Structure 1
């Protein structure tokens, strides 16, 4: 399904971004804009800015940004289409039927019907729990120390042992066999040619998405039947690899972190004890999609898997996935109890909080598990462990983390820091820190099967064989990053606006040279000037046109921005953002529009603009110049560079 630019712009223009974001973020007016604590990361000082005139938001701390659609995509985990539909409904705008591609309207209608069916089924399960047939299930939940309030809050229910109770009820409510089958609530008896209830004699856990819609169910059997836990199959509305149990509540907390555990009861027990930022994967190992959902919300995760060997294996699989997604995990130790539910019942809320505060660094946990697999009293065994330790450190992408963990490991295991540094550098230079070697270092394929096979596009390829000493992160020659003086943003006292300081973090040896990245930043800064002062586009036209911004993000933004000015004689930054589909790119575009120099007055700003124009123009191919030969083109270029130094710039 798609919507035309005209429809998208109409919905966006009809939406008050301050009111939309203010419903979940406490905003305070500051000049022309509103500021508040960022809903996407934990902070004590507001760095989240909402600009009603530009219909944009941006956080100078975590760099999340975009328009009204982006906010719903990021904050409420909606798709772009769902965001458009939600805001259109709030604004009373009817969306055109012709916006659907062939077959999409049918698929959307079926999805909405399944959601309605699930809602009806969840209500029925809840009522059954409190009926005579649900006595065993209710007794089980109360035996697990759940209060009536918690049972109601999570909508817990019960499926009777009868094989057709739910089916008959749904038929009475007018749902078709086809829709009931598509919902996943029934199994098909092929011999008898009939459907029967999938969940029987089970306590039911409704699974909700971020919009609090019932998308599936989990069931815990009463008695010894197998399987102990049963989930809905995947459907048009339920994808277990893209949903986390309890996330609909956890994402609305201000904890700024998540506790990741194994099961429904762990999540419910923690929420009842006040730890409402606990979530669990739905009967599946942690996936890259889960990591992406988590990363949107926080970079801090507490792993609270069971204390048994299976739990340890799960932690060892999850840690590298979370780390690779840019998330910092720590490990919660629950011994002598098996899981959070047992711990909280036995020790209480305060003791659990104390364990959370004492959560172990994930690297120390990993290396500790690895060490147990080697005979440390044997020189060969110890050497093999130190080699595995070096492999683990070399697998980390961040140069400063590598240096820090070299120091930590040297202290923890009594190794000479210089020796470990040399070993890490050697592994980086040989390029032997891909997933296969890392798996072996961590204890074999059984520990890392999911990590190796859950492919992540463009990130799971082995490192190149040639890694310079500069980028190894283990030399004493200083950091491989250029200086990043703080702060990263400043306040324009004349307008009260915040702007990003154009200071790219660049790593030697990373994608693109320092010069390339600097040029791209200059192009983005120039576009930010044009967005703020559209008349600049005319001032610089003899030197830089809409094709003068390269093939990167700046080039894409320039094409849209110049198109706006040609068609409407104005700039609409929020509309530019809407032309990009994924939220990460939208955030980068929002950052582009919040990039500005630190000029103290208009005179200094004009100088800064001239310098930026010069950098961008100077990088353009000389073949673009007018002239009969290379000499004439060089003369033309020199003349234009002199003209730029005296360029008349209109800040309007």
Structure 2
């Protein structure tokens, strides 16, 4: 989506990064930069920096970085074009009539409006005679009328084209209904029909209040039990959670993550307005990142069966990577929160919440359940695995507490298990030390980008390219001395594109700032460029500039010679195979 460069420069100038970031993060000045706790991952020591003079942010912990547009993309979960529109509105700027962008955004607006109209249609159908079965089902499940209204629940009629007929009469096209995931198409005949039929309907609403998709549940034992909207340009199940639009307003200090829509709805109805559910998919890193923006603590309420336990084990490290404190709720006498609340009520559930296990307790108890501790062989194996688990806990207090518990469970002396934990801990530390030494002994690895997709094939040239770009961003006038240098002279394609963009902007008297390149670089590329610019700046001297240029040209010449040698070798091999040459 190509916006006019002059407009983007004005957008960046009218949205100072320190002002925009300051609305989300408490910043403290330290020298020329500002620092705060990163909003993208949990941390106790500020590693998130904002450089007002450069117009960039960078986190030394999670390595996210970029300009003000990149920040809004990340914090508000927006596309590039939508982030530009967001900042334009903030600054009172009118977005230029860029055809490609306007077309894409208008298409999204049409699909949002279509999905909202569909949600209203389904909600209205719930109140008709055709919706009697769905109303009876909701009543049986104990869902109140107030909850039905709050979540916009509805009913999809048991007819092939009920929604199709109504929406086309409102002016929406069949193509739009297909794009929104509201229709399906017969592969053989090509006929179109409603995707959702005879189902209780759950609108899925994003954090900005847009209806983006639906979940449909059968009211009998037919399959599939749940049918969700397919992926569309407005619906991505990996990046959204059911009821997140409600939960983001909750005053509670934690969020409850459930497996199903009905569990989340039941919790809200019983006064726990902090429950969300995933959208028919396992928890993803995107979900974890989203949750960490709204809370510091998460309660997992997955089912207690084997599948639920496996899901919990997978989710814990993913959630902890974002800095979330994770607690696990265990239920007895009910298979899920919905059933528990109906049986025992909100007060008993509140007691369950207060007694939630933390992740360490949960992991240790789950491990213990796999062994018959009345048998010596299994007792020994449990002790070994428990020691390995506890050795990885971060503090000595945790290792002492859970070591004692594991010893009691196995009927062993705490001192004996403590020795086993110490041995496991030493092995773990030795392994970490070997990894650290390996990295220190490999300087080439030390300068590689954190983003795996951006690797340096020629480290000597790449380091010189980094230094050159830092000089050019600091003093654009030095571009006059790089005449003859081209993007192809760079060993890192990203740096070649950045250099070409800088020359073009310099020649057209446009601003030379990292933020100005946000429209032409991916988030990962922008983050890496920001990381490069955060490094110590080189002296502004003609000697340093000449050295960088010399290294680039030397390494480029070597690459050409290498390429030519490879080509000659290939020609010789080809001649041998065809019998043209001798030995």
The normalised TM-score by structure 2 is: 0.68
CA 403–556 in structure 1, closer or farther in 2 if over 3 Å, else same: farther
Secondary structure at 1:223 match in 2: coil
Unaligned runs of 5+ in 1: 429-468, 474-479, 481-505, 542-549, 597-608, 625-652
**1:424 Cα offset (Å):** 5.6
The aligned counterpart of 2:575 is none
The aligned counterpart of 2:238 is 241
* Pair 1:176 & 2:173 matched: yes
The within-5 A match list for 1:202-601 is 202-251=199-248, 257-294=254-291, 300-323=297-320, 327-349=324-346, 351-390=348-387, 392=389, 401=394, 406-414=399-407, 415-423=416-424, 470-472=430-432, 508-510=437-439, 572=513, 574-575=515-516, 581-582=522-523
**1:205 Cα offset (Å):** 0.5
More off after superposition, 58-67 vs 309-318: 58-67
Q: Decide whether the 8 Å contact of 2:39 with 2:293 is kept in 1.
A: no
CA 43–278 in structure 1, closer or farther in 2 if over 3 Å, else same: farther
**1:167 Cα offset (Å):** 1.9
Q: Decide whether the 8 Å contact of 1:199 with 1:219 is kept in 2.
A: yes
Q: What is the aligned counterpart of 2:93 among 91, 115, 127?
A: 91
CA distance in 2 between partners of 1:515 and 1:119 (Å): 53
CA 334–589 in structure 1, closer or farther in 2 if over 3 Å, else same: farther
CA 362–75 in structure 1, closer or farther in 2 if over 3 Å, else same: same
CA distance in 1 between partners of 2:34 and 2:343 (Å): 46
**1:232 Cα offset (Å):** 1.9
CA 209–409 in structure 1, closer or farther in 2 if over 3 Å, else same: same
Which one scores higher on RCO, CA 8 angstroms, separation ≥ 6? 2
CA distance in 2 between partners of 1:387 and 1:9 (Å): 60
**1:204 Cα offset (Å):** 0.8
Q: What is the aligned counterpart of 2:121 among 119, 124, 129?
A: 124
Q: Decide whether the 8 Å contact of 2:49 with 2:57 is kept in 1.
A: yes
**1:304 Cα offset (Å):** 1.2
CA distance in 2 between partners of 1:425 and 1:46 (Å): 30
More off after superposition, 72-81 vs 179-188: 179-188
Unaligned runs of 5+ in 2: 408-415, 450-462, 482-489, 552-583
CA distance in 2 between partners of 1:71 and 1:531 (Å): 23
Secondary structure at 2:216 match in 1: strand
Q: Decide whether the 8 Å contact of 1:306 with 1:339 is kept in 2.
A: yes
- Structure whose residues are more often helix by fraction: 2
The aligned counterpart of 1:75 is 75
CA distance in 1 between partners of 2:71 and 2:101 (Å): 23
CA distance in 1 between partners of 2:306 and 2:430 (Å): 40
Secondary structure at 2:298 match in 1: strand
More off after superposition, 376-385 vs 138-147: 138-147
CA distance in 2 between partners of 1:194 and 1:48 (Å): 54
The normalised TM-score by structure 1 is: 0.62
CA distance in 1 between partners of 2:298 and 2:118 (Å): 33
More off after superposition, 55-64 vs 146-155: 55-64
Q: 1:182-203: CA deviations, max 9, x gaps?
A: 4332344567763332322222
